[in-house]
Amino acid sequence: MPQETNAENATVQMRKGVLEFCVLLIISKGEIYPSDIIKELKENNLIIVEGTLYPLLSRLKSLQVLEYTWIESKSGPPRKYYRLTSKGKESLKSHEKSWSNLSNSINSLIKKHE
Amino acid sequence: MPQETNAENATVQMRKGVLEFCVLLIISKGEIYPSDIIKELKENNLIIVEGTLYPLLSRLKSLQVLEYTWIESKSGPPRKYYRLTSKGKESLKSHEKSWSNLSNSINSLIKKHE
DNA sequence: TATACTACCTTGTATAGCAAGGTATTAGGC
DNA sequence: GCCTAATACCTTGCTATACAAGGTAGTATA
Protein backbone atom coordinates (compact mmCIF):
# COMPACT_ATOMS: atom_id res chain seq x y z
CA MET A 1 0.00 0.00 0.00
CA PRO A 2 1.30 3.43 -0.93
CA GLN A 3 1.73 6.62 1.05
CA GLU A 4 3.50 5.41 4.14
CA THR A 5 3.31 7.88 6.92
CA ASN A 6 5.16 5.99 9.59
CA ALA A 7 8.64 6.61 10.81
CA GLU A 8 10.26 3.61 9.17
CA ASN A 9 9.85 5.10 5.76
CA ALA A 10 12.62 7.60 6.47
CA THR A 11 15.08 4.81 7.05
CA VAL A 12 14.00 2.96 3.95
CA GLN A 13 14.37 5.99 1.72
CA MET A 14 17.78 6.87 3.04
CA ARG A 15 19.17 3.39 2.67
CA LYS A 16 18.24 3.33 -0.99
CA GLY A 17 20.84 5.82 -2.08
CA VAL A 18 23.76 4.06 -0.48
CA LEU A 19 23.15 0.40 -1.25
CA GLU A 20 25.50 0.28 -4.18
CA PHE A 21 28.22 1.89 -2.10
CA CYS A 22 27.75 -0.63 0.71
CA VAL A 23 27.87 -3.57 -1.67
CA LEU A 24 31.08 -2.29 -3.24
CA LEU A 25 32.59 -1.81 0.20
CA ILE A 26 31.80 -5.37 1.20
CA ILE A 27 33.06 -6.89 -2.01
CA SER A 28 36.24 -4.83 -1.76
CA LYS A 29 37.25 -6.85 1.30
CA GLY A 30 37.54 -10.05 -0.73
CA GLU A 31 35.63 -12.45 -2.91
CA ILE A 32 32.14 -13.10 -1.62
CA TYR A 33 28.88 -14.57 -2.89
CA PRO A 34 25.44 -12.95 -2.79
CA SER A 35 23.91 -14.71 0.20
CA ASP A 36 26.87 -13.75 2.35
CA ILE A 37 26.66 -10.15 1.13
CA ILE A 38 23.08 -10.03 2.39
CA LYS A 39 24.15 -11.53 5.72
CA GLU A 40 26.89 -8.96 6.16
CA LEU A 41 24.59 -6.06 5.30
CA LYS A 42 22.08 -7.30 7.86
CA GLU A 43 24.73 -7.50 10.52
CA ASN A 44 25.31 -3.82 9.86
CA ASN A 45 21.61 -2.95 10.11
CA LEU A 46 21.29 -2.48 6.37
CA ILE A 47 18.37 -4.62 5.28
CA ILE A 48 18.36 -5.83 1.70
CA VAL A 49 16.55 -8.65 -0.05
CA GLU A 50 17.49 -10.96 -2.91
CA GLY A 51 15.19 -9.20 -5.36
CA THR A 52 17.24 -6.06 -4.81
CA LEU A 53 20.71 -7.54 -4.73
CA TYR A 54 20.67 -9.79 -7.79
CA PRO A 55 19.65 -7.09 -10.25
CA LEU A 56 22.18 -4.73 -8.65
CA LEU A 57 25.00 -7.25 -9.08
CA SER A 58 24.00 -7.91 -12.69
CA ARG A 59 23.98 -4.20 -13.41
CA LEU A 60 27.42 -3.74 -11.91
CA LYS A 61 28.68 -6.75 -13.82
CA SER A 62 27.45 -5.38 -17.13
CA LEU A 63 29.06 -2.05 -16.31
CA GLN A 64 32.31 -3.98 -15.76
CA VAL A 65 32.52 -2.82 -12.18
CA LEU A 66 32.31 -6.39 -10.89
CA GLU A 67 33.33 -9.80 -12.15
CA TYR A 68 32.72 -13.26 -10.74
CA THR A 69 33.87 -16.86 -10.71
CA TRP A 70 31.71 -19.93 -10.17
CA ILE A 71 32.97 -21.93 -7.24
CA GLU A 72 31.66 -25.30 -6.07
CA SER A 73 30.22 -25.46 -2.58
CA LYS A 74 30.52 -28.40 -0.18
CA SER A 75 27.00 -27.84 1.10
CA GLY A 76 24.78 -27.01 -1.83
CA PRO A 77 24.74 -25.60 -5.35
CA PRO A 78 27.73 -23.67 -6.74
CA ARG A 79 28.17 -20.03 -5.88
CA LYS A 80 29.12 -16.90 -7.77
CA TYR A 81 32.04 -15.27 -6.02
CA TYR A 82 32.23 -11.59 -6.89
CA ARG A 83 35.21 -9.25 -6.83
CA LEU A 84 35.94 -5.69 -7.93
CA THR A 85 37.52 -5.03 -11.31
CA SER A 86 39.97 -2.16 -11.63
CA LYS A 87 37.04 -0.08 -12.80
CA GLY A 88 35.23 -1.19 -9.67
CA LYS A 89 38.04 0.06 -7.50
CA GLU A 90 37.79 3.45 -9.16
CA SER A 91 34.06 3.41 -8.68
CA LEU A 92 34.45 2.62 -5.00
CA LYS A 93 36.77 5.59 -4.60
CA SER A 94 34.24 7.93 -6.13
CA HIS A 95 31.49 6.51 -3.94
CA GLU A 96 33.67 7.19 -0.93
CA LYS A 97 34.09 10.80 -2.01
CA SER A 98 30.36 11.13 -2.61
CA TRP A 99 29.60 9.73 0.80
CA SER A 100 32.02 12.04 2.49
CA ASN A 101 30.63 15.07 0.63
CA LEU A 102 27.06 14.10 1.36
CA SER A 103 27.58 13.52 5.04
CA ASN A 104 29.48 16.78 5.36
CA SER A 105 26.64 18.65 3.65
CA ILE A 106 24.00 17.11 5.83
CA ASN A 107 25.89 17.46 9.07
CA SER A 108 26.42 21.12 8.35
CA LEU A 109 22.71 21.52 7.57
CA ILE A 110 21.92 19.84 10.88
CA LYS A 111 24.20 22.18 12.76
CA LYS A 112 22.74 25.24 11.08
CA HIS A 113 19.18 24.29 11.90
CA GLU A 114 19.29 23.16 15.48
CA MET B 1 20.01 8.22 -21.47
CA PRO B 2 20.20 5.31 -19.03
CA GLN B 3 23.07 3.33 -17.58
CA GLU B 4 25.39 6.06 -16.43
CA THR B 5 28.83 4.79 -15.75
CA ASN B 6 30.51 7.97 -14.69
CA ALA B 7 31.43 9.00 -11.20
CA GLU B 8 28.72 11.59 -10.75
CA ASN B 9 26.06 8.94 -10.63
CA ALA B 10 27.19 7.89 -7.17
CA THR B 11 26.48 11.34 -5.81
CA VAL B 12 23.11 11.53 -7.51
CA GLN B 13 21.97 8.20 -6.12
CA MET B 14 23.05 8.98 -2.60
CA ARG B 15 21.38 12.36 -2.52
CA LYS B 16 18.05 10.82 -3.41
CA GLY B 17 17.51 9.12 -0.11
CA VAL B 18 18.04 12.19 2.00
CA LEU B 19 16.20 14.93 0.14
CA GLU B 20 13.10 14.78 2.30
CA PHE B 21 15.25 14.99 5.41
CA CYS B 22 17.12 18.04 4.09
CA VAL B 23 13.91 19.82 3.16
CA LEU B 24 12.45 19.20 6.61
CA LEU B 25 15.63 20.49 8.20
CA ILE B 26 15.52 23.70 6.20
CA ILE B 27 11.84 24.33 6.84
CA SER B 28 12.36 23.65 10.54
CA LYS B 29 14.43 26.81 10.78
CA GLY B 30 11.47 29.01 9.91
CA GLU B 31 8.87 29.74 7.25
CA ILE B 32 10.31 29.59 3.78
CA TYR B 33 9.06 29.36 0.19
CA PRO B 34 10.11 26.82 -2.45
CA SER B 35 12.54 28.90 -4.51
CA ASP B 36 14.49 29.80 -1.39
CA ILE B 37 14.54 26.15 -0.31
CA ILE B 38 16.22 25.30 -3.61
CA LYS B 39 18.71 28.13 -3.12
CA GLU B 40 19.61 26.95 0.34
CA LEU B 41 20.05 23.34 -0.78
CA LYS B 42 22.35 24.47 -3.56
CA GLU B 43 24.46 26.48 -1.13
CA ASN B 44 24.94 23.20 0.71
CA ASN B 45 25.93 21.31 -2.44
CA LEU B 46 22.62 19.48 -2.58
CA ILE B 47 21.28 20.02 -6.07
CA ILE B 48 17.53 19.82 -6.51
CA VAL B 49 15.18 21.08 -9.21
CA GLU B 50 11.63 22.39 -9.17
CA GLY B 51 10.21 19.24 -10.69
CA THR B 52 11.49 17.37 -7.67
CA LEU B 53 10.65 19.85 -4.95
CA TYR B 54 7.04 20.73 -5.79
CA PRO B 55 5.76 17.16 -5.80
CA LEU B 56 7.70 16.51 -2.59
CA LEU B 57 6.12 19.50 -0.86
CA SER B 58 2.65 18.48 -2.04
CA ARG B 59 3.18 14.99 -0.73
CA LEU B 60 4.29 16.25 2.65
CA LYS B 61 1.37 18.64 2.74
CA SER B 62 -1.14 15.88 2.06
CA LEU B 63 0.51 13.77 4.76
CA GLN B 64 0.00 16.72 7.11
CA VAL B 65 3.71 17.01 7.72
CA LEU B 66 3.78 20.53 6.27
CA GLU B 67 1.36 23.43 6.02
CA TYR B 68 1.64 26.76 4.21
CA THR B 69 0.36 30.31 4.02
CA TRP B 70 0.12 32.48 0.92
CA ILE B 71 2.09 35.66 1.39
CA GLU B 72 2.26 38.58 -1.04
CA SER B 73 5.64 39.46 -2.43
CA LYS B 74 6.91 42.96 -3.17
CA SER B 75 8.76 41.74 -6.22
CA GLY B 76 6.55 39.27 -8.05
CA PRO B 77 3.73 36.80 -7.59
CA PRO B 78 2.65 35.62 -4.15
CA ARG B 79 4.57 32.86 -2.42
CA LYS B 80 3.69 29.79 -0.41
CA TYR B 81 5.50 29.92 2.89
CA TYR B 82 5.86 26.46 4.37
CA ARG B 83 6.29 25.42 8.00
CA LEU B 84 6.33 22.14 9.92
CA THR B 85 3.18 20.90 11.63
CA SER B 86 3.51 19.08 14.94
CA LYS B 87 3.44 15.89 12.92
CA GLY B 88 6.24 17.37 10.86
CA LYS B 89 8.35 17.94 13.92
CA GLU B 90 7.91 14.31 14.88
CA SER B 91 8.82 13.28 11.38
CA LEU B 92 11.96 15.39 11.48
CA LYS B 93 13.01 13.67 14.70
CA SER B 94 12.65 10.25 13.15
CA HIS B 95 14.59 11.37 10.08
CA GLU B 96 17.35 12.53 12.37
CA LYS B 97 17.46 9.13 14.03
CA SER B 98 17.48 7.40 10.65
CA TRP B 99 20.31 9.58 9.47
CA SER B 100 22.35 8.92 12.55
CA ASN B 101 21.76 5.16 12.32
CA LEU B 102 22.60 5.09 8.63
CA SER B 103 25.79 7.07 8.95
CA ASN B 104 26.90 4.94 11.85
CA SER B 105 26.28 1.77 9.85
CA ILE B 106 28.17 3.04 6.87
CA ASN B 107 31.06 4.48 8.75
CA SER B 108 31.53 1.19 10.54
CA LEU B 109 31.42 -0.64 7.20
CA ILE B 110 34.07 1.75 5.89
CA LYS B 111 36.30 1.11 8.88
CA LYS B 112 35.94 -2.65 8.55
CA HIS B 113 36.84 -2.68 4.88
CA GLU B 114 39.80 -0.38 4.62
C1' DT C 1 13.67 -41.58 -3.27
C1' DA C 2 11.45 -37.82 -1.30
C1' DT C 3 12.08 -33.66 1.45
C1' DA C 4 14.72 -29.82 3.04
C1' DC C 5 18.02 -26.56 2.22
C1' DT C 6 20.82 -23.57 -0.35
C1' DA C 7 21.62 -20.60 -4.18
C1' DC C 8 20.57 -18.47 -8.25
C1' DC C 9 17.23 -15.56 -10.94
C1' DT C 10 12.76 -13.13 -12.92
C1' DT C 11 8.36 -10.67 -13.09
C1' DG C 12 5.27 -7.13 -11.83
C1' DT C 13 4.32 -3.02 -9.07
C1' DA C 14 5.10 1.34 -6.77
C1' DT C 15 7.93 5.23 -5.78
C1' DA C 16 10.37 9.20 -6.72
C1' DG C 17 13.69 12.26 -9.21
C1' DC C 18 14.27 14.74 -13.32
C1' DA C 19 13.77 17.14 -17.94
C1' DA C 20 10.83 19.83 -20.24
C1' DG C 21 7.18 22.63 -20.72
C1' DG C 22 3.14 25.40 -19.04
C1' DT C 23 0.37 29.27 -16.38
C1' DA C 24 -0.02 33.49 -13.83
C1' DT C 25 1.48 37.70 -11.40
C1' DT C 26 4.43 41.76 -11.04
C1' DA C 27 7.99 45.19 -12.50
C1' DG C 28 10.17 48.14 -15.60
C1' DG C 29 11.35 50.21 -20.10
C1' DC C 30 9.39 52.72 -23.77
C1' DG D 1 -0.87 51.74 -21.67
C1' DC D 2 1.73 47.79 -23.63
C1' DC D 3 5.34 44.57 -24.24
C1' DT D 4 9.12 41.96 -22.24
C1' DA D 5 11.55 39.95 -18.46
C1' DA D 6 11.59 38.03 -14.09
C1' DT D 7 9.58 35.45 -10.54
C1' DA D 8 6.82 31.78 -8.73
C1' DC D 9 3.82 28.17 -8.98
C1' DC D 10 2.66 23.54 -11.09
C1' DT D 11 2.18 19.22 -14.39
C1' DT D 12 3.34 15.52 -17.65
C1' DG D 13 5.99 11.78 -19.23
C1' DC D 14 10.04 9.06 -18.64
C1' DT D 15 13.34 6.32 -16.20
C1' DA D 16 15.64 3.92 -12.54
C1' DT D 17 15.31 1.00 -8.84
C1' DA D 18 13.71 -1.37 -4.51
C1' DC D 19 10.75 -4.82 -3.14
C1' DA D 20 7.31 -8.74 -2.82
C1' DA D 21 6.41 -12.88 -4.62
C1' DG D 22 7.35 -16.71 -7.04
C1' DG D 23 10.32 -19.83 -9.86
C1' DT D 24 14.43 -23.20 -11.11
C1' DA D 25 18.02 -26.24 -9.94
C1' DG D 26 21.83 -28.52 -7.42
C1' DT D 27 23.09 -31.01 -3.02
C1' DA D 28 22.43 -33.32 1.41
C1' DT D 29 20.02 -36.27 4.46
C1' DA D 30 16.67 -39.14 6.48
Residue pLDDT tens, chain B, 114 long: 344 445 667 888 999 999 999 999 999 999 999 999 999 999 999 989 999 999 999 999 999 999 999 998 887 899 999 999 999 999 999 999 999 999 999 999 999 877
A20 touches chain B (CB under 8 A): yes
Domain A8-112 bears CATH identifier 1.10.3210.50: no
- Chain C nucleotides close to protein (CB under 7 A) are 5-12, 14-21, 24-27
User: Cα–Cα distance between B25 and B82 in angstroms, integer?
Assistant: 12
From chain B, the residues in CB contact with A10 under 8 A are: 20-21, 91, 94-95, 97-98
CATH fold for domain B16-112: Arc Repressor Mutant, subunit A (1.10.10)
Instruction: Return the domain boundaries, chain A.
Output: 8-112
A93 CA, D24 C1': Å apart: 37
- Nucleotide with smallest C1' distance to residue A75 CA: D27
Distance between CA atoms of B14 and B46, rounded to whole angstroms? 11
